[in-house]
Chains A and B, each alone.
Chain A
Amino acid sequence: MTLTEFLQHLANGISLGSLYALIAIGYTMVYGIIRLVNFAHGDLLMVATYMAFYGMLLFSLPWPLVFILAVILTTVMGVTIERVAYRPLRDAPRITVLISAIGVSFLLQNLGLVVFGGRSKAFYVPPFFATINHIGETAVPNLVWFIPLVTVALLMILMHLLYRTRIGMAMRAVARDLDTARLMAIDVDQVISFTFVVGSSLAAVGGLMWGLKFPQINPLMGAMPGLKCFIAAVIGGIGNISGAVAGGFVLGVGEILLVAFFPDLAGYRDAFAFVLLILTLLIRPTGLLGERVAEKV
């Protein structure tokens, strides 16, 4: 492998990794605040791409506007899911809420099959993203650098939100100790809703970029990225935002480089994530940046 080829693969890996990271943040934030693995998170990717698809097809709106609308509508959907499927179970055992989340995921997938049809559709990729730039010998389509740029920008906004605003402080308090947060007169339901706003909008942005990267969309498209990004969150240490980002990059870069160095293993690309998950759980169950959580007595 030449250096050029390696750089090419590395660029692709970073690009994919930052996409995983973006989606993994949503998993980790929701888990951090209500200890729920939101299985419907991956399906929000699908919802966002279909909204964008139909927005462009049926209403012929310009793509930037369509993307913004798709993010807003998907966010509304994510918050509604919390309202309808998780909030009524706030005091129920955790496993009950988890089953509810799996139910929502199935519902979205099958609703997608009924409403959108099972056949894959071609997602429109605006010419801007397909334009190829040459950096030295390395050919990089705009999309490849655009994805990490968006991820970094959103991450900076997120950090500002969490560490410099009132609601961010409330989110950190709720994540740590629900009852004591209530004693601070924090409206816990409101904070949880807001967490879903953040998580769902990140999932929507991630979904749109996923559509641009792999422009074949179908109602089950959210399942595999959903699983992989959940794995990324676990590898990084679930509940920890920096961990989710680290996990996303490890998974994305690892996956691309594995295929690059061992082309024979290309068919096992998706299995790589699961192998990494099993290794993480065996060697370091708390994840890369996860802290040991002592159960309070």
Chain B
Amino acid sequence: MKALEIDNLYKKYGENVAVNNISFDIEEGEFFGFLGPNGAGKTTTIGAITGIVKFDQGVIKVFDKDVVVDYREARMMIGISPQENNVDIWAPAEKILWYIGGYYGMTRNERKEKIPELLKLFDLERHKEKEFRMLSGGLKRRVMLARAMMHDPKLLILDEPTAGVDVELRHELWDYLKKINQQGKTILFTSHYLEEVEQLCNKIAVINKGEIIALDKKEKFTENGSSLEKTYLELIK
């Protein structure tokens, strides 16, 4: 089954075409790398999938649910960790998780059960009562990831989740993402660190100037002894 189907997505900001009729699919269980330079259209595409961006044309489906027509069902299956922190900075980590669980229809008991689990998983137990604004960069990133996982989404969208994160957490995160991907979670992953994309993803799309310029299995990007970084740089020249 397809976890995500994007068909002829088009989005313009004023005169600037951000995404120009792009189409691609992600199969259920895939670890999908979505690469491109800054301003290429990655975040706009993710915004269109999650409902933050109103797109001009095209159809997006998440596990066969249209993100506009069946937005409730579609959003129930998506968890997003955005590039920039978009939380109430005066709320403590525990509250942030409590609220987001509620938005996604989780009962009080479900939330009471899930929150300690996530706080432990992301090593946030000692910081659960601190206001978000008081946390370090790495801890903030952990809260964002825990928030994305709160309602146990089938499709996890991670927009540069390791930006500003220390090496230790980055490795812990890689291990965790590999584990949940092996358990069946579909992941859409963007990053400027190509070595982690190479290590984690099994399929990669490259977007540049609003258009998909390459889409293939990871091995295709690294065949003939080339590195992903070298292939990528050639593609976006």
Is B one of A's binding partners? no
Spell out A's residues near B (CB within 8 Å).
none
Spell out B's residues near A (CB within 8 Å).
none
